[in-house]
Amino acid sequence: MTARCAVCAASSGAIRGAGNHTVSQCGIPPALRAVTAQRAVPANAMPNRLCVSVPLLFNSRMNFLVTGGAGFIGSHVCERLLREGHHVWAFDDLNPFYDPQFKRRNLRDLQALAKPFEFVHGDITDRAALDEILSSVRFDQVIHLAARAGVRPSLLEPALYQRVNVEGTVNVLEAARRNGVKKMVLASSSSVYGLNSRAPFSEDDPIFTAISPYAASKLACESLGHVWHHLYQMDVAMLRFFTVYGPRQRPDLALYKFAQLICAGKPIPVFGDGASARDYTFVTDTVQGIIACTRTELGYEIFNLGESQTVPLKRMIELLEEALGRKAVIDRQPMQPGDVPLTYANISRARERLGYHPQIPFEQGVKLFTEWFLKQNIRA
């Protein structure tokens, strides 16, 4: 008889497919199998947990579930947690919003670290799949990043955005609550500020001017986070990310698209007169803020995670041209519906409460991004 994989069976008994393969078919690299077997929490060792207000415990070896863990920001978060010695499960449906090869490559990078990492292929709109994973492992914290991202595509499929981002978030919060998870870190977005006219944007600004279905879905998530905190005493951090960029960048975002077109000698579509401006955040700075939240008891708190520096579109293109050593051909187009003219983060709250200190100014970050981008293109 062929030996079944005992490591998967021990570590994540209820994960679909776990233990249903042989040792030689197991995706966990040999170096990691021993670690996984030692540190795994057997499914039947789960105590019956209630959601009551108890002080949170932080230690250097925790179990994290990262939804959207195969994506751009999620894969960086997983990597950082693994390097710190935590055990990480990434939950992701690998959908084709952009080429899933990017996500698979991120997963390969994570697996290559040979640390206690497991991938669960699942959809946050599937309540049973979430329950399965959350009831089979004792998670200390959930970092919920899975979402349909992107402002413009949300105008084409508003119902999908609401289903995944709003209903999906309810499912994640509820599965976490049912299974005794006390701490959640959730992704929101600078887009919730919409047409806010006060700059820089502060977490206390009244925000009733969302201008895309995506922004509205993230506003709903912020509200849901507060509900689960209020009703069930969950510790909830809502993070408003500001245009995140860097290695493993999503290919649908402007910086990546522009780099691709410039390298191919094709015109880049520039919406508006180039004066619109973004607060670009290098991905390791975003991750710094996320990790700080995982170490701090917060109650319910919203944080801006940006650099607090605005870069006009025109300047972004100049810096990209310099870094790539090529001139861009500009194809000027009207401003797009749903796009905001400005994002600009006031980060005083994150500085004070999280010790957040962004390190990479855009001029440096764009060089780091292009180095990665050019390497990928050579590899492809």
- Catalytic annotation, residues: 214
Does 338 bind ligand NAD (CB under 6 A)? Our answer is no
Instruction: Look at the block and give the residue holding tokens 């090869």.
Output: 101
Does 345 bind ligand NAD (CB under 6 A)? Our answer is no
| 168/338 with CB nearer ligand NAD | 168
Handedness of CA 288, 129, 93, 241 (dihedral sign): negative
Does 70 bind ligand NAD (CB under 6 A)? Our answer is yes
Alpha-carbon gap, residue 113 to 121, rounded angstroms: 19
Does 147 bind ligand NAD (CB under 6 A)? Our answer is yes
Rounded to a whole number of angstroms, the minimum distance from the CB of residue 98 to ligand NAD is 7
Give the binding-site size for ligand NAD (rule: CB under 6 A): 28
The burial of 170, by beta-carbon neighbours within 10 Å (0-12 exposed, 13-18 middle, 19 or more buried), is given as middle
- Asked if 186 and 220 touch (Cβ cutoff 8 Å), the reply is no
Does 134 bind ligand NAD (CB under 6 A)? Our answer is no
Q: Which residues contact 41 (CB under 8 A, 6 or more apart)?
A: 11, 63, 137, 138
Residues numbered 281 to 310 that lie near ligand NAD (CB under 6 A) are none
Q: Please give the angle made by the CA atoms of 65, 66 and 68, to the nearest 5 degrees.
A: 145
State which of residues 82, 134, 137, 244 lies at the interface with ligand NAD (CB under 6 A).
Answer: 244
**DSSP track, 238-284:** EEEE-SEESTT--TTSHHHHHHHHHHTTPEEEEESSS--EE--EEHH
| 7/168 with CB nearer ligand NAD | 168
Binding region for ligand NAD (CB under 6 A) out of 132-140, 143-151, 271-279, 340-348:
143-151
262: tokens are 């410039």
Does 356 bind ligand NAD (CB under 6 A)? Our answer is no
Does 5 bind ligand NAD (CB under 6 A)? Our answer is no
Does 278 bind ligand NAD (CB under 6 A)? Our answer is no
Instruction: Look at the block and give the residue holding tokens 């922004």.
Output: 215
Residues numbered 102 to 131 that lie near ligand NAD (CB under 6 A) are 103, 123-125
267: tokens are 């015109």
| 149/328 with CB nearer ligand NAD | 149
Alpha-carbon gap, residue 345 to 310, rounded angstroms: 9
| 7/221 with CB nearer ligand NAD | 221
**DSSP track, 292-329:** HHHTS--SEEEEEES-S--EEHHHHHHHHHHHHTSPPE
| Interaction pattern, residues 154-183, with ligand NAD; x per rule: CB under 6 A | ----------x---x---------------
Reduced to 3 states (helix: H, G, I; strand: E, B; else coil), residue 30 is helix
Binding region for ligand NAD (CB under 6 A) out of 91-99, 316-324, 325-333, 367-375:
91-99
Rounded to a whole number of angstroms, the minimum distance from the CB of residue 72 to ligand NAD is 4
Q: What are the residues binding ligand NAD (CB under 6 A)?
A: 68, 70-74, 92-95, 97, 103, 123-125, 145-149, 164, 168, 187, 189, 241, 243-244, 250
